[in-house]
Amino acid sequence: MEEFKSITVSSLQAEKPNLKLLYLRLTDSAPLIIAHELGYFERYGLKVALQRETSWATLRDKLIGGAADAAAILAPMPLTLNQTLPNCEEQLLSGLILSCNGNAITLSRTLYESLDLAGNDAAADTPAIGAALKSRIASRADSQAPLTFASVYPFASHTLQLRHWLSTAGIDPDRDVRIVVLPPEQMVDHLRRGDIDGYCVGEPWNTLAVQEGIGVIATTSNRLMPAMPEKVLAVTRSWHDANPATHLALRAALLDACGWLSDRSQRRDAIAILARPEYLDLPEAALATSLNDELITAGNRSAVNNPDWHLFAHPQSEHGRPTEKKARELLALCNEIAPVDTSAAEAFCADLYQQTLDFIRHK
């Protein structure tokens, strides 16, 4: 990206103050919702309408097609657009990582109980789960269908984390199991029906499966692959070129909201806001667990501490900075699924993030 001139608050004039932002029904959509509810967008002269979508592919297509101005999307999505939409002439870019972590791997209660882990009441990340799953797969008869796991998008952090967890246990994610793609909010229903044996998804869809008694959390992303970029603010390159001041105001508002969420004392209020019907329309109890950095792996277990299950951006940390190094690390993992274009690392724009920091500090 080219370098950008400094813009002060007094000179900031949004080219397009009325915006539509897209998000999914996930706990880490919180920065958009908090910015909307607490007036951060208005602080920077923006009037924002939030629109909830069901699947990442639909959200991606609406953003690229111009049906929305910006979206909170999966961090690998701007980097792998050529792989998922090879004929697309548009590009996505991000000048802000909204959050890291936020996901977990959940097994169906039926599968978990078949692993012969009686007496093992350890919390998530016990190597015994992976070892038992490997033995279960090895003992499968040739006539039996492979175990089926779900992720949310072909090139998603969830897919990368699920494959890593399986591989660490000695399970080949390409040969020993089947991995399918499902929208996040459909995971629990498919698990309940027995269509899938497990999944990797963002919160609260892991906690909901535990609360319903149909799932057991095997591990969380912050323990498995700590601080992996999860959600980023994305716009098309053509939209950015036409609306640089608007984009700056949008990043500033969302970074302020992320900073508010980084203060754990604020999260009780956040839980009540997110749960509302017009936002996530989910029980507060389902949202509270991960936002309170607590983990309940199964219905008969007590909560354990799980620090940084949601790690939101903050001006005083580097988690929000979308660097080329972070992009290349994600691309290297995506390349294990299918060949990717390494030049796409430029979709992570550290200079736009620095511009945001400079703007906030001088406002």
Q: Is residue 1 part of a domain?
A: no
Q: Please check whether residues 92 and 237 belong to one and the same domain.
A: yes
343-358: per-residue pLDDT in tens?
Answer: 999 999 999 999 999 9
| Contacts with 311 (C-beta within 8 Å, 6 or more apart), sequence order | 99, 100, 101, 102, 222, 227, 319
Q: Is residue 315 part of a domain?
A: yes
Residues 198, 111: one domain? yes
Helix (H) or strand (E) holding 311: strand 310-312
**Residue 195 domain-assigned?**
yes
Residue 75's nearest CA partner among 99, 91, 53 is 99
Do 140 and 96 share a structural domain?
no
Q: Mean pLDDT across the stretch 194-222? A: 97
Same-domain check for residues 44 and 88: yes
* Res 146: pLDDT: 95
Range of the domain at 150: 103-224
Predicted confidence (pLDDT) at residue 48 exceeds the cutoff of 90: yes
Rounded to two decimals, the pTM is 0.94
What is the dihedral sign for C-alpha 348, 354, 355, 357? positive
pLDDT at residue 188 greater than cutoff 60:
yes
Report the pLDDT averaged over residues 313-327. Answer: 97
pLDDT at res. 116: 82
Would the pLDDT of 9 be above 60?
no
Of 201, 224, 247, at which residue does a domain stop? 224
For residues 89 and 3, the model is more confident at 89
Weakest-pLDDT range from 75-84, 172-181, 299-308: 299-308
211-234 in b/e form (b: 16+ CB < 10 A) is beebbbbbbbbbbbbeebbbbbbb
Res 8: pLDDT: 46
Same domain as 312, residue 268: yes
Phi, psi angle pair for 91, to nearest 5°: -125, 150
Distance CA 57, CA 182 (A): 10
Task: Write down which residue in 207, 224, 241 finishes a domain.
Answer: 224
Backbone phi, then psi, for 86, in 5-degree steps? Answer: -60, -20
Predicted local distance difference test score (pLDDT) of residue 1:
39
312 and 244 share one domain: yes
Q: Is the pLDDT of residue 253 over 70?
A: yes
Mean local confidence (pLDDT), 254-272: 96
With a cut of 80, say whether residue 6 has pLDDT above it.
no
The count of structural domains within the chain is 2
Report if residue 235 sits inside a domain.
yes
Together in a domain, 217 and 129: yes
Same domain, 38 and 117: no
Together in a domain, 135 and 209:
yes
5, pLDDT greater than 90: no
Question: Does residue 49 form part of some domain?
Answer: yes
Q: What is the pLDDT, as a whole number, of residue 7?
A: 42
Shared domain check, 220 and 108: yes
Chain-centroid distance, C-alpha 216: 20
> Which whole number is the average pLDDT over 279-294?
98
Same domain, 232 and 357: yes
What is the pLDDT confidence band of residue 118, given thresholds at 50, 70 and 90?
Answer: low
Same domain, 243 and 313: yes
Q: What is the pLDDT of residue 121?
A: 52
Predicted local distance difference test score (pLDDT) of residue 16: 96
Average pLDDT, the chain: 93
Which pLDDT value is given to residue 351?
A: 98
Q: Which DSSP string corresponds to 39-106?
A: THHHHTT-EEEEEEES-HHHHHHHHHTTS-SEEEEETTTGGGHHHH-TT----EEEEEEEEEE-EEEE
pLDDT tier at 300, thresholds 50, 70, 90: confident
Decide if 278 is inside a domain.
Answer: yes
At 162, which CATH number?
3.40.190.10
Contact 162, 151 (CB under 8 A): yes
